[in-house]
Structure 1
């Protein structure tokens, strides 16, 4: 593809859709192109499209910092990594066919000065003499953050002889193992599970970001800080001076360095491309930047030291640039390829657009039908096949191949919003047709893939001192931490539980499978008293009730299969038309759920399906598809909502979605007058209403349906047993679809899936952007800027605090800094009517901001809320913070979450670390998994269809779910349920995870719980291998735990209740009711009289006086193997 000669300063007229083509063609001539857009662009989409045109072209980006000077915000790790990676590419690589893309406002602020000779690059190679201390010194001086575990670029971790590092210029982190002063091994490892993968020989370290807190920079910062007399930042001055870098310290980037470079200074070999009017935009951005700084602008000795002015920009670019005009086509045509947007496709008139498409084909124009979804591709192909039009599917765009091909119609994955044509060399006209123009689908946004962050959440979501926990034999107590005790000169680790009256119970770490969480509960919980039978009686009652419920569930599931239901089959043309008008691209989970529901409705059996997914994940669209199938078959649909707010929301959404179809949708609730209700009921009875949406008013006995086909229930757990029974009586064989934003606890999923038809939507819509999360110190001016920024883009804000007592202080602060702000307050002490009224005002955008405790309504989809401010985030749990943050970002707009602390220095180290973790978690995709994990701890509503909160309070949520799962599995498999018991094993050697091996107490406790629940020796060995990989050589006291657990697994199979040690050997105590055949034991003793001796009370003595612990343990394992034969 060889273009005509391009001349400088000439306008190249483009549409937005043709930008990528222009850049690729320009790159084929100039090899290196730097394009500066006047406004922010979707870089990921540009990258994807460019790769479709020419996969050999590399696209790099240089995003603007997403925080301002002296703003108390830190740039996101994504931004820092992206910028430093691009600088590395520009300085150390000399690649051809490269396109750099960034917004022109990025040129305003300068960046660090780097050259090839300033020790910014450190190459690691195996078997090379590299001192461990030299690597650590480089990491510290280059701005890497030391953490317990590495998950993001710019982080490192030290654990014994293992060093983990994630360089920002590499795609994966590495694990280094040393052999004295040589690197013995370098392994790539997974950030998901922290386990090693592939061995490599070489790895490059580079600066972690442009913002470096090394000795030289800190001296520069101290000098400039004192000279400029910066106020209200003394805590930062002190912390940076002491190399204790607080969140928000990056705000001092402009005074950290003595010299800066403009990005343009790294682009001497690049051809620059600007949009028309770039000088105007640049000047405006400059003014905005200075205005934002306000009084802070006086802190700069010379603005030009850090900011690039318009005159400097002109001087830097000289004559080395091209101009493009993306607004309109001008008469003057200087481009080697003419781009135009003159294909007049009318929006929202699909028939006209399809006719135009057919006419273009008849005119024998070269057509490239561009799709961005598999649904679009399928529709194009079906359309062309229907009209017997020859076409070719291509994966890459190539001028020469297209021109040589006999076909004139090509189907290509290329994401464009608007159709355009291109005239190549003044001869050939190519028409690029957008899927959106033909099929009216909104273009999806590209979202980067993230790590499996539920693993990260789970590792740090562990018990806190004071949490209620349940011991299987002793009942409800309070967790009081890990304790190391010296028993007979042997150090052992236990968890301590406090019971009623202050009684304490120590549980060996190898028996933690007997411990479960009570749950996250605000209610008062009564502690059990040790030694009483109350607990066992309560547990027995709950177990009996669970068995009754499980039988009912299984019976109901079996009976449902025998009933006959209405057969509802989609009316093909109408249904496809309705489906094609969905304004977004369906996710794979949505498509799967739709298919399952279509099969249910046409099966001839009454559907009873639970559709489970977070708010905004597309449940309503699936319900609408089910409703459309039903009403197009001549039946009625009833949509039942627990709250008036949801009725309002659904009414709006359904009427908007069905606007092009002649179906009648009405509502009924307490808001309608008696006359209105009477009329609505008559029309329901006469079949004049197709879809009725309402609250419990639908249960009214005087509502008679003409031909009810489908009942949709939103948030079923909000309705009581009596109401659900009434619903079943309306039409026993009716199809039922239940929507729930409450995920199913993971511990229950496998069992519940046997009883209910469940569809899970775990992936967010394709248009969702990752939420940008910032951890920052409280400052009124910054809060004011955050709120005003959101209101300026016509958005709304959630402002959350952990306690009701915090809300009044927040209110006073907001009134003082933004007097005209319109806001509402909600919390648990208000009446339902007051809360509903506040929500309604907020939902209708009559207020800009909602102040709340953590009770922000999970069922409502307020897509206009794209900023959440969370005060005192350290008082929330990690999963709870994740849930709160997920209340924003429900649209295709960029969403922001701000975690506000009063003083970083007053927050405990472990709490601060967790806040840093949540600020780095970007993705939405792990939301359901994390929510499910959280529900394992605090309950997920009436999953099994009955009011079970009373029983859950009796035994705690984890134990309740465990009992339910075991009961369902027992009934389904007809296997008897085993009693919960755990052998007590004492082998006479120390058992603990040393603090010097794993410092973090949360991780230690999490590992204890995971390991103690392993019931398979192979899994135990795998866990030991993984630990060795992650943390280094496993110390003896930790290895001892694995020996004990292996023996415990064997002992339980042999029904051995207890194994205790003495100087001469071990005492094995069998469970009296389940002792192995006594004849076998006697024969074993008779064969080995020097080793074994029978004792009273079902005990067996094993003589073993070996000096080495490992020899004694191996002897015991051999004995247990013989007993188990």
Structure 2
């Protein structure tokens, strides 16, 4: 819904020659939980609601400025029916501070608690505060990062944004504006104090006189409103009913417009009130899209079919030009624009050069047609068949940015509570530095002489009734202590001083190192002795291919992709391990590496442990490579012998660029003409014999290993630096955590859950554990 409004505004901004980014739509979402339920809405939803309301107040206060552009608000009928804080209450719940201001930190904390902020020992979530002496940490709901405020007495000396993971400062700020720490909390206080008539409002109260309301398919809106009210208890003070919504909307203060699904796009965007004086919309406008002319859909066509569809689409564009239409082609970057020009020239539709579409560089989700204006906008997605997957914007969580591997933290930066390893005594817990008197006969004895500093390490006690013993390590022996590095986030068990368990662990590790050393030296010597193939830097097709990725890459993904491509461009064989959870984007790293290898004239082998995974990877690789002259095949036991034999022959002749398969790929009967890259997915699931074959592959070609749970030996090689490693620990921006609720079977709860999911046009997967009664339940 919000992307449709952005698309319309970008088009309107192009016609008016105004920057489209000057008027970015605001999003006002609905609570996903009802107020009478035990769960609070997600913090990101409250953040966007409050942020939109605060921006509306700010714009309304500065409405007299001539350069101020009226914002556009996109919402749903459910959000419009939900009451919120009145503008006066919201204004009273906001406060601004600056460096140098005088105020008692205790008074500030008391005020923040009144605004629904929760005191915590450590700030990690939005709406939390933590006061320690003269330092106040607060996570403002409308800010992406926590903030640290330092006091000297009653004077604010500094304001800095804070990393919630490391608790370190990020950047200095001159001022800070507090928003309410919650929405429902303040509303419930108003209900308890019987002040609902003064404290309650709706989004309508934040819109000035003359606001243009654009209703998209009013019939469906009313139906959704009535279905939504079924879930709301009678006389619920937090909601407006449909009649109340109409009464507010159809009053004299607003200018209403109705758009049915079949309504054509208005000839003039300003006809709907989108002007500097009236720039408001509560519902996304409909427009006539390019759906009837798109050459490709979501199903991957064969190459000849795709080319035929593209030619027909080009001919349609030429017909528009002959009919006097203005045709504008919007490309993401110069490479796309250059490729479109080449394709247009190849079809020779305008040999005299009299009719040419206009090519612009920009970002547009999809094209549109305005028949009355004879205006057509086409995007590179319609031409090349790659449609970006866009979802409603969410504020980037600080946790998504701050969630980084512990292996990327400076190991020398020890803090109290960190796990450390002493070379002789094993794993302990670091308790900080302590100065002991120089003449003390035992720790804790006081003397008047200046002593030395010691690292204090706590170990496990021998019995439950004993206090944990502490080891005092002189700073001069600090080289014996290192920070504990372990896979996963589980806490390691502490060793006991004087026990044999640590020595046994050391002996096992030393034996594993000796076993590994021989193989490692042989492989590494072979790789160093022979020069690998150095791929060229990224070309236009590589950039075009990567820009077609239908999702937004995370920073961890970018780091892994960049490191992999740099390895491939070196004259040494690559051996890189990419670790990341399922769904975090490891496959995209492999796809881009495979494309780069094929563009360099080399073949790619993708090894997977199961036939099901081989089929999935084949579909993914084939879909992404479809617009390019790249042939993708696969090998597994599901294929007929004749099919497998044909693929093997084509690998030997070089007619297959990318092959995906199981252990069949490492059989002696499979030969490649020019293998350049081996991608191994989930190496830990292969057997010992297959791993021996992998070692032979690593001697000659680049190897990229993907794994969510690497085996200890593979992880050990990466941690010690013998293999390069990239970690992807940041989930995709739109990926939400799974919420699991365990309750006794209740038909009413299930019915409400199903109805709510279907109302939001979602999908339901109902798992029943009895085949004999599954029809009765259905």
Q: Which residue matches 2:239?
A: 306
Q: Write the deviation string for residues 765-815 of structure 1: whole angstroms up to 9, x where unpaired.
A: 6xx514167698967666775577668733559xxxxxxxxxxxxx9xx87
Match of 2:445 among 477, 488, 491: 488
Q: Does 1:20 align with 2:9?
A: yes
Q: Which residue matches 1:440?
A: 385
Give how far 1:451 is off: 2.3
Give how far 1:191 is off: 3.4
Give how far 1:311 is off: 5.0
CA distance in 2, matches of 1:480, 1:742: 28
Q: Does 1:66 align with 2:32?
A: yes
Q: Which residue matches 2:279?
A: none
CA distance in 1, matches of 2:216, 2:188: 44
Change in Cα spacing, 1:306 to 1:795, as seen in structure 2 (3 Å) is closer
Q: Which residue matches 1:353?
A: 313
Give how far 1:308 is off: 2.9
Give how far 1:75 is off: 0.9
* Contact in 2 for aligned 1:369/1:432 (Cα 8 Å): yes
CA distance in 2, matches of 1:609, 1:285: 52
* 1:927-966 matched pairs, under 5 angstroms: none
User: Secondary structure of the residue that 1:212 maps to in structure 2?
Assistant: helix
* Contact in 2 for aligned 1:440/1:583 (Cα 8 Å): no
Q: Which residue matches 2:366?
A: 417
Q: Which residue matches 1:1036?
A: none
* Contact in 2 for aligned 1:74/1:775 (Cα 8 Å): no
Q: Write the deviation string for residues 290-337 of structure 1: whole angstroms up to 9, x where unpaired.
A: 3234xxx2xx4x357732323552354325223252633459979766
Q: Which residue matches 1:291?
A: 230
CA distance in 2, matches of 1:363, 1:815: 62
* 1:316-395 matched pairs, under 5 angstroms: 316-319=249-252, 320-325=254-259, 327-329=261-263, 340-341=288-289, 345-348=293-296, 349-357=309-317, 366-371=326-331, 373-374=332-333, 377-384=334-341
Q: Which residue matches 1:723?
A: 690
User: Secondary structure of the residue that 1:115 maps to in structure 2?
Assistant: helix
CA distance in 1, matches of 2:720, 2:488: 27
Shifted more, 320-329 versus 571-580: the winner is 571-580
CA distance in 1, matches of 2:144, 2:589: 38
Q: Does 1:667 align with 2:607?
A: no
Give how far 1:552 is off: 4.8
Q: Does 1:539 align with 2:506?
A: yes
Give how far 1:743 is off: 7.5
* 1:499-518 matched pairs, under 5 angstroms: 505-508=469-472, 514=481
* Contact in 2 for aligned 1:76/1:773 (Cα 8 Å): no
Match of 1:451 among 398, 411, 419: 398
Q: Which residue matches 1:497?
A: 459
Q: Does 1:141 align with 2:114?
A: yes
* Contact in 2 for aligned 1:361/1:409 (Cα 8 Å): no
Q: Which residue matches 2:45?
A: 79
CA distance in 2, matches of 1:517, 1:571: 39
Higher relative contact order (CA 8 A, sep 6+): 1
CA distance in 2, matches of 1:286, 1:758: 52
Q: Write the deviation string for residues 872-902 of structure 1: whole angstroms up to 9, x where unpaired.
A: xxxxxxxxxxxxxxxxxxxxxxxxxxxxxxx
Change in Cα spacing, 1:358 to 1:17, as seen in structure 2 (3 Å) is farther
Give how far 1:586 is off: 7.2
Give how far 1:380 is off: 1.0
Give how far 1:159 is off: 0.8
Q: How many aligned residue pairs are there?
A: 697
Change in Cα spacing, 1:790 to 1:551, as seen in structure 2 (3 Å) is farther
Match of 1:208 among 165, 181, 186: 181
Change in Cα spacing, 1:139 to 1:416, as seen in structure 2 (3 Å) is same
Change in Cα spacing, 1:519 to 1:655, as seen in structure 2 (3 Å) is closer
User: Secondary structure of the residue that 1:306 maps to in structure 2?
Assistant: coil
Change in Cα spacing, 1:481 to 1:256, as seen in structure 2 (3 Å) is farther
Change in Cα spacing, 1:518 to 1:366, as seen in structure 2 (3 Å) is closer
* 1:606-617 matched pairs, under 5 angstroms: 608-617=575-584
Give how far 1:521 is off: 9.7
Match of 1:771 among 731, 736, 740: 736
- Compute the TM-score of the two structures, normalised by the length of structure 2: 0.69
* 1:885-904 matched pairs, under 5 angstroms: none
Change in Cα spacing, 1:317 to 1:636, as seen in structure 2 (3 Å) is same
* 1:367-766 matched pairs, under 5 angstroms: 367-371=327-331, 373-374=332-333, 377-384=334-341, 409-421=358-370, 429-445=374-390, 448-451=395-398, 455=402, 471-475=422-426, 487-488=444-445, 496-498=458-460, 505-508=469-472, 514=481, 531=498, 535-536=502-503, 539=506, 542-543=509-510, 546=513, 549=516, 552-553=519-520, 556-563=523-530, 608-621=575-588, 623=590, 638-654=605-621, 663=631, 665-669=633-637, 676-677=640-641, 679=642, 682-683=645-646, 686-687=649-650, 690=656, 693-700=660-667, 703-705=669-671, 707=673, 709=675, 711-728=678-695, 733=700, 736-742=703-709, 755-756=722-723
Give how far 1:70 is off: 2.9
Give how far 1:563 is off: 3.3
Q: Write the deviation string for residues 50-103 of structure 1: whole angstroms up to 9, x where unpaired.
A: x97444446433221121133322111222222233334444642342222222
Match of 1:188 among 157, 160, 174: 160
Change in Cα spacing, 1:452 to 1:610, as seen in structure 2 (3 Å) is same
**Between Structure 1 and Structure 2, which shows a larger proportion of helix residues?**
1
User: Secondary structure of the residue that 2:230 maps to in structure 1?
Assistant: helix
Match of 1:155 among 128, 136, 139: 128
Change in Cα spacing, 1:414 to 1:493, as seen in structure 2 (3 Å) is closer
Change in Cα spacing, 1:667 to 1:790, as seen in structure 2 (3 Å) is farther
User: Secondary structure of the residue that 2:129 maps to in structure 1?
Assistant: strand
CA distance in 1, matches of 2:199, 2:367: 45
**Which structure's CA Rg is the greater one?**
1
* Contact in 2 for aligned 1:62/1:102 (Cα 8 Å): yes
Q: Which residue matches 2:203?
A: 263
CA distance in 2, matches of 1:84, 1:526: 45
RMSD across aligned positions (CA): 5.9
Change in Cα spacing, 1:561 to 1:421, as seen in structure 2 (3 Å) is farther
Change in Cα spacing, 1:384 to 1:157, as seen in structure 2 (3 Å) is same
Give how far 1:422 is off: 7.3
User: Secondary structure of the residue that 2:48 maps to in structure 1?
Assistant: helix
CA distance in 2, matches of 1:332, 1:529: 78
User: Secondary structure of the residue that 1:414 maps to in structure 2?
Assistant: coil
CA distance in 1, matches of 2:223, 2:504: 74
CA distance in 1, matches of 2:222, 2:455: 66
Give how far 1:145 is off: 1.6
Q: Which residue matches 1:105?
A: 78
* Contact in 1 for aligned 2:455/2:474 (Cα 8 Å): no
Change in Cα spacing, 1:584 to 1:422, as seen in structure 2 (3 Å) is farther
